[in-house]
Amino acid sequence: SGYQVAVVGATGAVGTKMLEMLAEADFPIAGVKLLASKRSAGKVLLFKDQELVIEETTAESFEGIDIALFSAGGSVSKEFAPEAVKRGAVVIDNTSAFRMDLNVPLVVPQVNELALKEHQGIIANPNCSTIQMMVALEPVRKAYGLSRIIVSTYQAVSGAGVSAINELKEQSQKMLNDEPVEAHILPCGGDKKHFPIAFNALPQIDVFSDAGYTYEEWKMMNETKKIMADETIKVAATCVRIPVVSGHSESIYFEVKDELATVFGIQNELEKAPGVVLQDDPATQLYPTALTSVGKKETFVGRVRKDLDDDLGFHMWVVSDNLLKGAAWNSIEIAESLHRLDLVRVPK
């Protein structure tokens, strides 16, 4: 016995990590079904030591599935997640398709696991940059309250999929050879212009939306309020893509409510917090970096320091593997929570 699990988008940057993380999941798995587009049907991927043949995603693919992990883009989720739920599968969706829907829990298990109790079949995995920020700020919020967040991100290209990773590598090679470079993918597929990411920094992730903010920035601002269940937290984000393959970094300025908060107190809370590793010692140059976070499931925090002008203000540096805690691993942790809470079923 155990769950039948489907991975939708199994060939993608996140999907391949889903498979790796599933092998470490703390719930019983009876079988795994790999789904992608027609292009990949018939290709083979390994799960543990088993060869699994990829199938094209159709509505019928979800017959007999208990847990469906979606990471094939928003339009695939919009089309097939309801079909999966209709057939009795609980969907954990990595895209932004359903995140802000009122009846869809948006969950980081270390922060709001119990929101899962309200699920109607679909659970949303938050945006990668939001997740690591929540993991690092929830211990601060619990201990001292949180009134304001101003975050600037330094995001890796793998968040934009396999094609963006390839683009960074090809452009980098060409630049080193003094050859002309072309850009086709970044800053994002949905916009008209493209710019090189190699040796560059692009202040646009996803398309532009209201008030001069991009969708990625709106995701961080809206999702924070939903996950922390507090509409009063002030949040402003600037999201930047940098030429790193994996590992998102964030410079976070935050203001607490409790004037007794200290750097030492915050470090102490972070040290005890689930899913957090404190790496903070300027004297020995200890701080997290993108490269050291790759392949790890935790969120790493360093550079905790007091703002010199605002009594309630602090700064920190937060890094995590965007494909793991930012995507695949958070989805698996959601599935673990669902299993533990006996919620792997679609309510009638």
| C-beta of 9 vs 121, nearer to ligand A2P | 9
| C-beta of 40 vs 249, nearer to ligand A2P | 40
Q: Provide the pairing of β-strand 122-124 with 90-93.
A: parallel
Shortest distance in whole angstroms from residue 180 CB to ligand A2P: 25
CB atoms within 10 A of CB 201: 10
Q: Is 184 a catalytic residue?
A: no
| C-beta of 15 vs 275, nearer to ligand A2P | 15
Residues constituting the chain: 348
Strands of the chain, DSSP E: 3-8, 29-36, 44-47, 50-53, 55-56, 67-70, 90-93, 122-124, 148-155, 234-241, 248-255, 276-278, 299-306, 313-320
Residue type, 10: A
| C-beta of 39 vs 78, nearer to ligand A2P | 39
Shortest distance in whole angstroms from residue 71 CB to ligand A2P: 7
Shortest distance in whole angstroms from residue 236 CB to ligand A2P: 28
Using the structure block, give the residue that is written with the tokens 């290209």. 157
As a whole number of Å, the CA-based R_g of the chain is: 20
Cα 237 → chain centroid = 16
Q: Exactly one of 128, 188, 239, 339 is catalytic; name it.
A: 128
Q: Is 188 a catalytic residue?
A: no
Q: How far apart (Å, rounded) are the C-alpha atoms in residues 296 and 294?
A: 6
Which residues of this chain interact with ligand A2P, rule CB under 6 A? Answer: 9-15, 36-37, 39-40, 57, 72-73, 76, 161-163
Q: Exactly one of 119, 188, 239, 248 is catalytic; name it.
A: 248
φ and ψ of 15, to 5 deg: -55, -40
Three-state SS at 235: strand
| C-beta of 9 vs 139, nearer to ligand A2P | 9
Q: How far apart (Å, rounded) are the C-alpha atoms in residues 300 and 294?
A: 11
Shortest distance in whole angstroms from residue 231 CB to ligand A2P: 31
Residue type, 248: H
Shortest distance in whole angstroms from residue 198 CB to ligand A2P: 19
Active site residues: 128, 248
